[in-house]
Chains A and B, each alone.
Chain A
Amino acid sequence: MYQFMDRVARLFAILGGIILSILIVQTCLSILGRSISSILHSDFMQTNLPGLASSLLSTGVGSINGAFELVEAGMAFVIFAFLPLCQLKGAHASVDIFTSQLPARANVLLRTVIEVIFALVIVLIAYELSQGMLSKLRTGQTTFILEFPVWWPYALSLIAAVASAIVAVYVACMRVIEMATGQTLLPLDLEAEH
């Protein structure tokens, strides 16, 4: 089971990484297009090589229209897709200076309660995100420049949010079983390296 969850979490992290990379490349292309276009519009080109400049410009070279919106739409998926791995590896920042003084049993209890609450919160987030998506679907709201439906990026994010919720629930269940049985089911010291 852990193997499976691990594979799911890694798969989403890689998907997120790929989308992130695409957004990075798209942003760079947009800057490139913008630079070329402003060189073609420059006084130098317009006075010396007006023919070349206008024929190049007519190919539509320029910044990518609505690049900003694509980054926003894609980034929501990227962050949700990064969440399962963070959840599975327990990579969230916390302060353990006081709890390290507590007896081991108290720590186990604390850890279990926290993971259960965390799972509930992420399930809640995924559920409300689905409500948000349905509302955007109903109202037909679009983005400003590219005018694509806002519910599309919501739906993409929802897929990753559901994966996060599944992983979070899995981790919580394992912690509960661990506490009940005293066994160790999840690898210890999940987050050694940062």
Chain B
Amino acid sequence: QEVTLKLHQFLPAQANVPKLVLDVWADKIEAASEGRIKVDRFPSMQLGGTPPELLDQAIDGVADVVWTVVGYTPGRFPTTEVFELPFMVEDARAASCAYWTMFEEHMEDKEFKGVKILGTWVHGPGMFHTADPVETPADLEGMKIRGGSRLVNQLLTLAGATPVGMPVPAVSEGLSKGVIDGTTIPWEVTAALKVPELVENHTEFEGPALYNLTFVLAMNEGVFNGMSADLQQIVDDNSGMNFSVFAGGTQSDADGPAREIAVEMGNNIITVSDTSEWQALVNPLYDTWVADMKGKGLDGQALIDQARGLMSGECAGAMGKM
């Protein structure tokens, strides 16, 4: 082969995203290039470093391609946070489509300058998994909860919970030892982390999700530019809008089977249909966020409006297929 790409990420190889999204992407590129591109896959941070460093690893060439949670590096990619706002996103496909559209318009040449982004997506609805049932914000008071992002942590603080920072792979251990009383993650991750065996209560929300995280698949720019034009074309053909929607959709489709496991075990699944109390709690977060963005020279309200418009407009019902 002509090019070997080192694909580095933080989850074990058999987890949903590596298996259902990243492997599919890598296999397609290998097949389309008839073996001229080979993708070596390094799961579980095998190449060293910690998850927050993944993006820098792609920029600096420690790895060629990385998959990472944008929120692991708070403050660096403020625009992406529009999709992480509480009760913002309902459908992962529509959101991933809007994310890619806004990425091309606002982020490609600014926040993500210096690295080639191959895909942008969000996971399915983020929710609570707790030892004691959570139905209203008051139930969270005094609980130690692992939050998924900067904004989730702010939400937890507002509700009187203590946000705890820990990477996803540490959640099982934290729950079983009582270091945390609960965690925020989408259903999809719960199966691999054995969350339904460790806690009995799950709180989902009707309509827009409590929160979402944003992901990117990123590639070293020099490596991409160094490839021959036809190989570059193959990478481009399998990346971008279509891949992003596929990735977001596949990840959120994996929620269903994972939820089944909790149902099977007879766990208590709370579905909050009247979210007004929660909405009231998070409204100040929107204001602080817009003010934060203003401090960074960004028009937060316009971003919110654009994202909402896209998700209910041209991105509604988006489908991606690989």
Contact = CB atoms under 8 A, between A and B. Distances in A.
Nearest to A144: B165
Interface residues of B, number: 16
Nearest to B73: A141
B76 interface: yes
Interface string A46-77: 00000000000000001101101100000000
Interface in B155-206: 157, 162-165
Residue among B52, B141, B142, B163 having the largest count of chain A Cβ atoms under 10 Å: B142
A66 B74 CA distance: 15
B317 interface: no
A68 B164 CA distance: 9
Contacts of B284: none
Contacts of B163: 145
Nearest to A42: B142
Given A38-B142, A145-B153, A147-B150, A140 B165 contact: no
Contacts of B144: 63
Interface residues of A, number: 19
Interface in B41-62: 52, 56
Given A37-B142, A38-B142, A68-B165, A144 B153 contact: yes
Nearest to A57: B142
A104 to B, nearest CB: 40
Interface in A123-159: 135, 139-145, 147, 149
A37 B144 CA distance: 12
Contacts of A143: 74
Contacts of B309: none
Given A62-B162, A65-B162, A68-B164, A139 B142 contact: no
A135 B76 contact: no
Given A37-B142, A140-B76, A141-B75, A69 B165 contact: yes
Given A41-B142, A144-B153, A139 B165 contact: no
Contacts of B75: 139-142, 147, 149
A65 B75 CA distance: 19
Interface string B67-89: 00000011110000000000000
A139 B76 contact: yes
B179 to A, nearest CB: 10
A62 B144 CA distance: 11
Contacts, number: 38
Contact of B73 (A62, A65, A66, A139): A139
Contacts of B165: 66, 68-69, 144-145
Nearest to A132: B56
A60 to B, nearest CB: 11
A145 B157 CA distance: 10
A57 to B, nearest CB: 8
Interface in B72-117: 73-76
A1 to B, nearest CB: 38
A141 B74 contact: yes
A65 B56 CA distance: 27
Nearest to B160: A57
B194 to A, nearest CB: 23
A22 B141 CA distance: 29
A142 B162 contact: no
Nearest to B53: A132
A186 B296 CA distance: 54
Nearest to B111: A139
Contacts of A66: 165
B142 A147 contact: no
A139 B60 CA distance: 14
A68 B167 CA distance: 13
Nearest to B157: A65
Contacts of B56: 135
A73 to B, nearest CB: 12
A188 B150 CA distance: 54
B74 A144 contact: yes
A104 B58 CA distance: 48
3 nearest CB pairs, A to B: A142-B75, A144-B165, A41-B142
Interface of B: 52, 56, 73-76, 141-142, 144, 150, 153, 157, 162-165
23 contacts: A38-B142, A41-B141, A41-B142, A63-B144, A63-B162, A65-B157, A65-B162, A68-B164, A140-B75, A140-B76, A141-B52, A141-B73, A141-B74, A141-B76, A142-B74, A142-B75, A144-B150, A144-B153, A145-B153, A145-B163, A145-B165, A147-B74, A149-B75
Given A68-B165, A145-B153, 13 more contacts: A37-B142, A38-B142, A41-B142, A63-B162, A65-B157, A69-B165, A135-B56, A139-B76, A140-B75, A144-B150, A144-B153, A147-B74, A147-B75
